[in-house]
Amino acid sequence: MGALPARPVYARVDLGALAHNLRAITAASGGAKIMAVVKANAYGHGLVPVAQLFERLGADALAVAVPEEGAALRAAGVAAPILVMGALLPQQFPILFDNGLAFSATAPESLAAIDAAAAERGVRAPVHLKLDTGMQRVGVQWRAAGAFIEQALRCKHVQIAGVYSHFAAADEANLASARLQLECFLEALQNFERLRAPLPLRHIANSGAVLQLPEAQLDLVRPGILLYGVYPSDECARSIAVRPALGLHAAVTHVKQLAAGTPVSYGGSWQSAQAVTLATLPIGYGDGYMRALSSRAPVLLRGKRYGVAGRVCMDQLLVNVAADTVDVGETATLLGSDGTQEISAAELAQLAGTIAYEVLTNIGARVPRVYAGP
Protein backbone atom coordinates (compact mmCIF):
# COMPACT_ATOMS: atom_id res chain seq x y z
CA MET A 1 0.00 0.00 0.00
CA GLY A 2 1.15 3.54 -0.70
CA ALA A 3 2.27 5.85 2.10
CA LEU A 4 -0.53 6.94 4.37
CA PRO A 5 -1.58 10.59 4.11
CA ALA A 6 -0.92 13.12 6.86
CA ARG A 7 -4.63 13.45 7.46
CA PRO A 8 -5.69 10.57 9.70
CA VAL A 9 -8.57 9.66 7.41
CA TYR A 10 -8.27 7.71 4.16
CA ALA A 11 -10.05 5.41 1.76
CA ARG A 12 -8.03 2.33 0.85
CA VAL A 13 -8.68 1.10 -2.68
CA ASP A 14 -7.68 -2.48 -3.47
CA LEU A 15 -6.49 -2.52 -7.10
CA GLY A 16 -6.25 -6.29 -7.01
CA ALA A 17 -9.94 -6.53 -6.16
CA LEU A 18 -10.82 -4.17 -9.01
CA ALA A 19 -8.73 -6.24 -11.42
CA HIS A 20 -10.40 -9.45 -10.22
CA ASN A 21 -13.86 -7.92 -10.67
CA LEU A 22 -13.19 -6.73 -14.21
CA ARG A 23 -11.80 -10.11 -15.22
CA ALA A 24 -14.73 -11.97 -13.64
CA ILE A 25 -17.26 -9.75 -15.41
CA THR A 26 -15.42 -10.11 -18.70
CA ALA A 27 -15.40 -13.91 -18.38
CA ALA A 28 -19.15 -13.93 -17.71
CA SER A 29 -20.11 -11.57 -20.53
CA GLY A 30 -20.05 -14.00 -23.41
CA GLY A 31 -17.51 -12.15 -25.54
CA ALA A 32 -19.32 -8.80 -25.32
CA LYS A 33 -17.11 -5.73 -25.16
CA ILE A 34 -16.75 -4.07 -21.75
CA MET A 35 -17.55 -0.39 -21.20
CA ALA A 36 -16.41 0.24 -17.63
CA VAL A 37 -18.52 2.90 -15.94
CA VAL A 38 -16.24 5.28 -14.00
CA LYS A 39 -18.60 8.21 -13.42
CA ALA A 40 -18.90 9.93 -10.03
CA ASN A 41 -15.20 9.59 -9.28
CA ALA A 42 -15.33 5.89 -10.19
CA TYR A 43 -18.08 5.36 -7.62
CA GLY A 44 -15.91 7.04 -5.02
CA HIS A 45 -12.81 4.97 -5.78
CA GLY A 46 -10.89 7.65 -7.70
CA LEU A 47 -11.59 8.51 -11.33
CA VAL A 48 -8.13 8.62 -12.87
CA PRO A 49 -6.34 5.71 -11.14
CA VAL A 50 -9.31 3.40 -11.61
CA ALA A 51 -9.83 4.31 -15.27
CA GLN A 52 -6.12 3.86 -15.94
CA LEU A 53 -6.26 0.43 -14.34
CA PHE A 54 -9.29 -0.66 -16.35
CA GLU A 55 -7.69 0.58 -19.56
CA ARG A 56 -4.48 -1.34 -18.82
CA LEU A 57 -6.51 -4.46 -18.14
CA GLY A 58 -8.23 -4.29 -21.50
CA ALA A 59 -11.56 -2.55 -20.98
CA ASP A 60 -12.81 -1.66 -24.46
CA ALA A 61 -14.33 1.68 -23.45
CA LEU A 62 -15.18 3.86 -20.47
CA ALA A 63 -18.36 5.69 -19.54
CA VAL A 64 -18.71 8.94 -17.63
CA ALA A 65 -21.66 11.14 -16.72
CA VAL A 66 -20.34 14.62 -17.53
CA PRO A 67 -17.82 15.92 -20.08
CA GLU A 68 -15.46 17.21 -17.39
CA GLU A 69 -14.87 13.64 -16.21
CA GLY A 70 -13.86 12.65 -19.72
CA ALA A 71 -11.58 15.67 -20.04
CA ALA A 72 -9.84 14.75 -16.79
CA LEU A 73 -9.17 11.26 -18.12
CA ARG A 74 -7.74 12.58 -21.38
CA ALA A 75 -5.50 14.97 -19.43
CA ALA A 76 -4.21 11.93 -17.52
CA GLY A 77 -3.35 10.13 -20.75
CA VAL A 78 -6.32 7.75 -20.96
CA ALA A 79 -6.78 6.92 -24.67
CA ALA A 80 -9.70 4.46 -24.58
CA PRO A 81 -13.03 5.47 -26.15
CA ILE A 82 -15.09 7.43 -23.62
CA LEU A 83 -18.85 7.87 -23.80
CA VAL A 84 -20.52 10.77 -22.02
CA MET A 85 -23.88 9.38 -20.95
CA GLY A 86 -26.93 11.56 -20.54
CA ALA A 87 -28.39 14.65 -22.18
CA LEU A 88 -26.04 17.43 -23.29
CA LEU A 89 -26.52 21.13 -23.95
CA PRO A 90 -24.65 22.94 -26.76
CA GLN A 91 -22.41 24.85 -24.34
CA GLN A 92 -20.95 21.49 -23.29
CA PHE A 93 -20.07 20.36 -26.82
CA PRO A 94 -16.61 21.98 -27.02
CA ILE A 95 -15.34 19.85 -24.13
CA LEU A 96 -16.36 16.69 -26.00
CA PHE A 97 -14.88 17.82 -29.31
CA ASP A 98 -11.63 19.01 -27.74
CA ASN A 99 -11.13 15.73 -25.89
CA GLY A 100 -12.36 13.21 -28.43
CA LEU A 101 -15.34 12.08 -26.36
CA ALA A 102 -18.40 10.30 -27.71
CA PHE A 103 -21.74 12.11 -27.51
CA SER A 104 -25.09 10.76 -26.38
CA ALA A 105 -27.87 11.96 -28.67
CA THR A 106 -31.00 11.86 -26.55
CA ALA A 107 -33.54 13.65 -28.77
CA PRO A 108 -33.92 14.72 -32.41
CA GLU A 109 -33.01 18.28 -31.37
CA SER A 110 -29.81 17.22 -29.63
CA LEU A 111 -28.81 15.10 -32.62
CA ALA A 112 -29.33 18.06 -34.97
CA ALA A 113 -27.33 20.33 -32.66
CA ILE A 114 -24.43 17.85 -32.50
CA ASP A 115 -24.43 17.53 -36.31
CA ALA A 116 -24.42 21.30 -36.76
CA ALA A 117 -21.62 21.82 -34.24
CA ALA A 118 -19.54 19.10 -35.87
CA ALA A 119 -20.11 20.68 -39.29
CA GLU A 120 -18.77 24.00 -37.99
CA ARG A 121 -15.60 22.23 -36.88
CA GLY A 122 -15.34 20.17 -40.04
CA VAL A 123 -15.31 16.88 -38.14
CA ARG A 124 -17.56 13.89 -37.58
CA ALA A 125 -18.82 13.45 -34.04
CA PRO A 126 -19.00 9.92 -32.61
CA VAL A 127 -22.55 9.54 -31.32
CA HIS A 128 -24.43 6.90 -29.38
CA LEU A 129 -28.17 7.11 -29.97
CA LYS A 130 -30.10 6.88 -26.70
CA LEU A 131 -33.46 5.11 -26.79
CA ASP A 132 -35.92 5.19 -23.90
CA THR A 133 -37.42 1.76 -23.30
CA GLY A 134 -38.94 2.46 -19.91
CA MET A 135 -36.62 4.52 -17.70
CA GLN A 136 -38.33 7.80 -18.67
CA ARG A 137 -35.27 10.00 -18.03
CA VAL A 138 -33.78 10.88 -21.40
CA GLY A 139 -33.80 9.31 -24.83
CA VAL A 140 -36.13 8.94 -27.78
CA GLN A 141 -39.13 6.71 -27.08
CA TRP A 142 -38.39 3.33 -28.61
CA ARG A 143 -41.52 3.45 -30.77
CA ALA A 144 -40.12 6.56 -32.47
CA ALA A 145 -36.70 5.01 -33.04
CA GLY A 146 -37.22 4.60 -36.78
CA ALA A 147 -37.45 8.31 -37.50
CA PHE A 148 -34.57 9.02 -35.10
CA ILE A 149 -32.29 6.50 -36.80
CA GLU A 150 -33.26 7.85 -40.22
CA GLN A 151 -32.33 11.34 -39.03
CA ALA A 152 -28.98 10.08 -37.75
CA LEU A 153 -28.23 8.39 -41.07
CA ARG A 154 -28.89 11.68 -42.87
CA CYS A 155 -26.47 13.59 -40.62
CA LYS A 156 -23.29 14.16 -42.60
CA HIS A 157 -21.17 15.03 -39.58
CA VAL A 158 -22.25 12.26 -37.23
CA GLN A 159 -20.71 8.82 -36.92
CA ILE A 160 -23.23 6.43 -35.35
CA ALA A 161 -20.91 4.66 -32.93
CA GLY A 162 -23.58 2.97 -30.84
CA VAL A 163 -27.22 2.70 -29.86
CA TYR A 164 -28.24 2.10 -26.29
CA SER A 165 -30.85 2.09 -23.58
CA HIS A 166 -30.92 1.64 -19.82
CA PHE A 167 -32.73 -0.82 -17.56
CA ALA A 168 -34.90 0.51 -14.76
CA ALA A 169 -35.24 -2.74 -12.79
CA ALA A 170 -32.69 -5.31 -13.94
CA ASP A 171 -31.50 -5.73 -10.34
CA GLU A 172 -34.86 -6.98 -9.02
CA ALA A 173 -35.94 -10.56 -8.45
CA ASN A 174 -38.88 -10.09 -10.80
CA LEU A 175 -37.36 -9.47 -14.22
CA ALA A 176 -40.60 -9.09 -16.16
CA SER A 177 -40.21 -5.36 -16.74
CA ALA A 178 -36.52 -5.74 -17.65
CA ARG A 179 -37.36 -8.41 -20.20
CA LEU A 180 -40.05 -6.15 -21.64
CA GLN A 181 -37.50 -3.33 -21.95
CA LEU A 182 -35.10 -5.64 -23.75
CA GLU A 183 -37.87 -6.74 -26.10
CA CYS A 184 -38.69 -3.10 -26.89
CA PHE A 185 -35.01 -2.32 -27.49
CA LEU A 186 -34.54 -5.24 -29.86
CA GLU A 187 -37.68 -4.29 -31.75
CA ALA A 188 -36.40 -0.73 -32.15
CA LEU A 189 -33.10 -2.04 -33.47
CA GLN A 190 -34.90 -3.73 -36.35
CA ASN A 191 -35.09 -0.29 -37.94
CA PHE A 192 -31.42 -0.59 -38.91
CA GLU A 193 -32.23 -3.68 -40.96
CA ARG A 194 -35.32 -1.99 -42.41
CA LEU A 195 -33.17 0.95 -43.46
CA ARG A 196 -30.41 -1.36 -44.72
CA ALA A 197 -27.98 0.36 -42.39
CA PRO A 198 -25.16 -1.38 -40.51
CA LEU A 199 -25.81 -2.05 -36.84
CA PRO A 200 -23.63 -0.01 -34.50
CA LEU A 201 -22.60 -1.26 -31.09
CA ARG A 202 -25.75 -2.24 -29.19
CA HIS A 203 -25.72 -1.93 -25.41
CA ILE A 204 -28.26 -2.00 -22.61
CA ALA A 205 -26.83 -4.28 -19.89
CA ASN A 206 -25.93 -2.61 -16.60
CA SER A 207 -24.63 -4.44 -13.52
CA GLY A 208 -27.99 -6.03 -12.74
CA ALA A 209 -28.36 -7.31 -16.29
CA VAL A 210 -24.78 -8.59 -16.35
CA LEU A 211 -25.69 -10.70 -13.33
CA GLN A 212 -29.19 -11.78 -14.29
CA LEU A 213 -29.94 -11.28 -17.99
CA PRO A 214 -27.29 -12.88 -20.21
CA GLU A 215 -29.60 -12.39 -23.20
CA ALA A 216 -29.05 -8.64 -22.79
CA GLN A 217 -25.29 -8.79 -23.29
CA LEU A 218 -25.50 -7.98 -27.02
CA ASP A 219 -22.34 -6.28 -28.31
CA LEU A 220 -21.24 -4.44 -25.19
CA VAL A 221 -22.06 -4.38 -21.47
CA ARG A 222 -21.81 -1.43 -19.08
CA PRO A 223 -20.96 -2.70 -15.58
CA GLY A 224 -20.89 -0.04 -12.90
CA ILE A 225 -21.17 -0.83 -9.20
CA LEU A 226 -20.38 -4.50 -9.83
CA LEU A 227 -16.87 -3.51 -10.92
CA TYR A 228 -16.33 -2.13 -7.43
CA GLY A 229 -17.29 -5.35 -5.71
CA VAL A 230 -20.79 -4.35 -4.63
CA TYR A 231 -24.00 -5.99 -5.83
CA PRO A 232 -26.64 -3.59 -7.13
CA SER A 233 -29.37 -4.76 -4.75
CA ASP A 234 -30.17 -7.37 -2.13
CA GLU A 235 -32.54 -9.07 -4.58
CA CYS A 236 -30.00 -9.43 -7.36
CA ALA A 237 -28.45 -12.82 -8.10
CA ARG A 238 -24.81 -13.23 -7.03
CA SER A 239 -23.92 -15.07 -10.23
CA ILE A 240 -20.45 -13.46 -10.44
CA ALA A 241 -18.13 -13.50 -7.44
CA VAL A 242 -16.76 -10.00 -6.88
CA ARG A 243 -14.70 -8.45 -4.09
CA PRO A 244 -15.35 -5.09 -2.39
CA ALA A 245 -12.50 -2.77 -3.29
CA LEU A 246 -12.87 0.16 -0.91
CA GLY A 247 -12.30 0.52 2.82
CA LEU A 248 -12.84 3.72 4.80
CA HIS A 249 -10.59 4.29 7.79
CA ALA A 250 -9.89 6.94 10.41
CA ALA A 251 -7.46 7.16 13.30
CA VAL A 252 -8.60 7.82 16.85
CA THR A 253 -7.71 11.40 17.77
CA HIS A 254 -9.12 11.63 21.31
CA VAL A 255 -10.29 9.29 24.07
CA LYS A 256 -12.37 10.16 27.12
CA GLN A 257 -14.31 8.45 29.89
CA LEU A 258 -17.86 9.57 30.57
CA ALA A 259 -20.07 9.07 33.55
CA ALA A 260 -23.39 7.32 33.14
CA GLY A 261 -26.14 9.53 31.77
CA THR A 262 -23.83 12.10 30.12
CA PRO A 263 -25.43 13.56 26.93
CA VAL A 264 -23.25 13.16 23.85
CA SER A 265 -22.81 15.25 20.67
CA TYR A 266 -25.23 17.77 19.15
CA GLY A 267 -28.60 17.81 20.84
CA GLY A 268 -27.45 15.36 23.50
CA SER A 269 -29.53 12.71 21.77
CA TRP A 270 -27.40 9.79 23.00
CA GLN A 271 -26.34 8.79 26.48
CA SER A 272 -25.35 5.57 28.20
CA ALA A 273 -26.83 4.03 31.32
CA GLN A 274 -23.30 3.03 32.33
CA ALA A 275 -19.95 4.76 32.44
CA VAL A 276 -18.34 4.45 29.01
CA THR A 277 -15.23 5.25 27.03
CA LEU A 278 -15.69 7.31 23.86
CA ALA A 279 -13.23 7.52 20.97
CA THR A 280 -13.27 10.51 18.63
CA LEU A 281 -12.70 9.98 14.90
CA PRO A 282 -11.90 12.96 12.62
CA ILE A 283 -14.48 12.16 9.96
CA GLY A 284 -18.06 13.30 9.47
CA TYR A 285 -20.77 14.15 7.00
CA GLY A 286 -18.45 16.75 5.43
CA ASP A 287 -16.46 13.73 4.24
CA GLY A 288 -19.57 11.92 3.06
CA TYR A 289 -20.11 9.78 6.15
CA MET A 290 -23.84 10.32 6.36
CA ARG A 291 -25.53 11.98 9.32
CA ALA A 292 -28.29 9.39 8.96
CA LEU A 293 -25.82 6.89 10.47
CA SER A 294 -25.88 8.73 13.81
CA SER A 295 -26.20 6.32 16.77
CA ARG A 296 -26.82 3.49 14.26
CA ALA A 297 -23.70 2.52 12.37
CA PRO A 298 -21.04 0.08 13.51
CA VAL A 299 -17.35 0.92 13.63
CA LEU A 300 -14.55 -1.64 13.82
CA LEU A 301 -11.63 -1.27 16.26
CA ARG A 302 -9.19 -4.05 17.10
CA GLY A 303 -11.39 -6.43 15.13
CA LYS A 304 -14.46 -5.76 17.29
CA ARG A 305 -17.74 -4.01 16.53
CA TYR A 306 -18.69 -0.86 18.37
CA GLY A 307 -21.32 1.76 17.67
CA VAL A 308 -21.43 5.41 16.66
CA ALA A 309 -22.53 7.40 19.70
CA GLY A 310 -24.71 10.44 19.11
CA ARG A 311 -25.03 12.58 16.04
CA VAL A 312 -22.39 12.49 13.32
CA CYS A 313 -20.87 15.99 13.07
CA MET A 314 -19.55 17.67 9.94
CA ASP A 315 -15.94 16.74 10.68
CA GLN A 316 -15.97 14.31 13.61
CA LEU A 317 -17.92 11.48 15.19
CA LEU A 318 -17.82 9.54 18.44
CA VAL A 319 -17.59 5.81 18.99
CA ASN A 320 -18.78 4.03 22.11
CA VAL A 321 -16.14 1.44 23.04
CA ALA A 322 -18.00 0.67 26.28
CA ALA A 323 -15.62 -0.67 28.94
CA ASP A 324 -12.82 -1.50 26.49
CA THR A 325 -9.63 0.46 26.05
CA VAL A 326 -8.43 2.23 22.93
CA ASP A 327 -5.41 4.40 22.22
CA VAL A 328 -5.04 7.62 20.32
CA GLY A 329 -3.63 6.83 16.87
CA GLU A 330 -5.32 3.44 16.48
CA THR A 331 -7.05 2.90 13.15
CA ALA A 332 -10.80 2.41 13.02
CA THR A 333 -12.68 0.96 10.06
CA LEU A 334 -15.97 2.56 9.05
CA LEU A 335 -16.36 0.59 5.82
CA GLY A 336 -14.51 -2.60 5.01
CA SER A 337 -13.03 -5.38 7.10
CA ASP A 338 -10.92 -5.78 10.22
CA GLY A 339 -10.07 -9.32 11.22
CA THR A 340 -13.17 -11.47 10.87
CA GLN A 341 -15.54 -8.50 11.03
CA GLU A 342 -16.81 -6.57 8.01
CA ILE A 343 -18.97 -3.53 7.44
CA SER A 344 -20.36 -3.53 3.90
CA ALA A 345 -21.71 -0.67 1.84
CA ALA A 346 -25.01 -2.54 1.74
CA GLU A 347 -25.16 -2.64 5.55
CA LEU A 348 -24.50 1.09 5.87
CA ALA A 349 -27.04 1.79 3.15
CA GLN A 350 -29.72 -0.16 4.98
CA LEU A 351 -28.98 1.69 8.21
CA ALA A 352 -29.09 5.07 6.45
CA GLY A 353 -32.20 4.28 4.42
CA THR A 354 -30.44 4.57 1.08
CA ILE A 355 -28.52 2.42 -1.44
CA ALA A 356 -24.92 1.27 -1.59
CA TYR A 357 -24.30 3.54 -4.60
CA GLU A 358 -24.85 6.61 -2.41
CA VAL A 359 -22.66 5.27 0.40
CA LEU A 360 -19.73 4.94 -2.01
CA THR A 361 -20.18 8.07 -4.11
CA ASN A 362 -20.73 10.21 -1.02
CA ILE A 363 -17.12 9.75 0.09
CA GLY A 364 -15.80 13.24 -0.53
CA ALA A 365 -12.77 14.62 -2.29
CA ARG A 366 -11.10 15.66 0.95
CA VAL A 367 -10.76 11.99 1.92
CA PRO A 368 -7.41 10.87 0.49
CA ARG A 369 -7.41 7.68 -1.57
CA VAL A 370 -4.60 5.21 -0.97
CA TYR A 371 -4.09 2.49 -3.59
CA ALA A 372 -2.92 -0.98 -2.71
CA GLY A 373 -2.22 -4.17 -4.65
CA PRO A 374 -0.85 -4.96 -8.09
Q: How far apart, in Å, are the Cα atoms of 62 and each of 7, 36, 40, 74, 218? A: 31, 5, 13, 12, 17
| Beta carbons within 8 Å of 120's beta carbon, 6+ residues apart | none
Concatenating the DSSP letter of every residue in 7-63 gives: SSEEEEEEHHHHHHHHHHHHHTTTT-EEEEE-HHHHHTT-HHHHHHHHHHTT-SEEE
Q: How far apart, in Å, are the Cα atoms of 55 and each of 104, 121, 130, 210? A: 21, 29, 24, 20
DSSP 176: H
Annotated active-site positions, please? 39, 266
The whole-angstrom separation of Cα 321 and Cα 276 is: 7
β-strand partners of 141: 132
Number of alpha carbons in the 13 Å side-chain half-sphere of residue 317: 35
The whole-angstrom separation of Cα 82 and Cα 39 is: 11
Contact criterion met (CB below 8 Å) for 260 and 275: yes
